[in-house]
């Protein structure tokens, strides 16, 4: 069952640099048991696991072998397809592991690895070359938010990150709005804050591409999403899912987030 807007909600767990491959297998199994107990319909609410690179093979083996219903992907990729780039992982390697998604331009990559919009754009195009769905992250820092320039800031990132991405590819992309000040801080954007920027992103996609592309693209919110706040955020018209950090490595918490439709909203 899609949202009222016809888009399938996506709950994506960004494990960040947590869990080795043993721990990954444990989490996947616990999550599978919990969701199976709740008879979760993966077609109604898609669930993506985004573990560290070293866990991907284990996650793939479990998910594919036991037909668990999860999608999975990586947290980053190289902008290059192959060659002398020590330490990098290519889109082709991720595609070979049957990854569906790859996160691009997470604020932690931008901040700690000096990835600018040109790099994020190159990585977005690299993902698309290998038929991976990029989850392109955008979001403002606290200073920008205090000045009330969040929409302007995020749209400038979006324009640059999607430069030269053709319309036929753009419809499959996922955009994640992650205000930097709300990541790992316990601070959550209010549902209205999330809606304001997610709606602006969708409007811009309409301007850059077409009304059809704008209507098709899923826009996620990320930043301290928890079982307690997810339903109110998901009730917003232009929010199609969540990119969850901390709460995604606890099977009970993440299962509860995935099952947000069971929650009572105040
Ligand atoms: O960065 C995030 C997901 O990519 C959000 O992290 P938290 O949910 O831990 O705030």
Q: What is the pLDDT of residues 184-195, one digit of tens each?
A: 888 888 999 999
Atom of ligand 1 nearest to the CA of 186: 10
pLDDT-derived band at 168 (thresholds 50, 70, 90) equals: very high
Full residue range of the structural domain in which residue 236 is found: 10-80+88-261
Residue range 22-46, pLDDT digits in tens: 999 999 999 999 998 889 999 999 9
Tell me if 5 is assigned to some domain.
no
Q: Is 243 near ligand 1, meaning CB less than 6 Å away?
A: yes
Q: Kind of pairing, strands 241-244 and 174-177?
A: unpaired
Instruction: Give per-residue pLDDT as tens, 126-136.
Output: 999 999 999 99
- Within-domain flag for 3: no
Q: What is the CATH number of the domain that holds 51?
A: 3.20.20.70
Whether residue 241 has its Cβ less than 6 Å from ligand 1? no
ipTM of the complex: 0.99
Please write the tens of the pLDDT for every residue from 237-257: 999 999 999 999 999 999 999
- Annotated catalytic residues are 106, 178
Q: Is residue 230 part of a domain?
A: yes
Q: Tell me whether residue 45 is in a domain.
A: yes
The reply to whether 2 falls in a domain is: no
Residue 214 resides in a domain: yes
Asked, for residue 67, whether it belongs to a domain, the answer is yes
Give a yes or no: residue 21 inside a domain.
yes
- Both ends of the chain: CA-CA distance in Å? 23
Number of domains the chain is built from: 1
pLDDT at 265: 58
pLDDT > 70 in the chain, percent: 97
């Amino acid at each position: 069952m899609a949202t009222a807007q016809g888009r399938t909600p996506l709950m994506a767990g960004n494990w960040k640099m947590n869990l080795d491959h043993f721990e990954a297998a444990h989490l996947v199994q616990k999550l599978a048991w919990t969701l199976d107990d709740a008879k979760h319909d993966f077609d109604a609410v898609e669930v993506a696991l985004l573990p560290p690179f070293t866990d991907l093979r284990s996650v793939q083996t479990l998910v594919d072998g036991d037909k668990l219903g999860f999608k999975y992907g990586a947290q980053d990729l190289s902008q290059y397809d192959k060659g002398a780039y020590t330490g990098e992982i290519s889109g082709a390697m991720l595609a070979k592991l049957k990854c569906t998604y790859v996160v691009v331009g997470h604020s932690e990559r931008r901040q700690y690895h000096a990835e600018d919009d040109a790099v994020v754009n190159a990585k977005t195009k690299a993902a698309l070359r290998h038929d991976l769905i990029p989850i392109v992250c955008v979001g403002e820092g606290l200073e920008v938010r205090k000045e009330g320039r969040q929409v302007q800031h995020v749209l400038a990132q979006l324009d640059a990150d999607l430069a030269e991405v053709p319309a036929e590819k753009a419809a499959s992309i996922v955009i994640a709005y992650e205000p930097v000040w709300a990541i790992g801080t316990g601070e959550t954007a209010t549902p209205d804050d999330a809606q304001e920027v997610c709606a602006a992103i969708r409007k811009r996609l309409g301007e850059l591409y077409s009304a059809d592309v704008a209507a098709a693209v899923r826009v996620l919110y990320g930043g301290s999403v928890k079982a307690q706040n997810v339903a109110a955020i998901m009730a917003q018209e232009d929010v199609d899912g969540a990119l969850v950090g901390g709460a995604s490595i606890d099977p009970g918490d993440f299962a509860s987030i995935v099952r947000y439709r069971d929650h009572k909203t105040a």
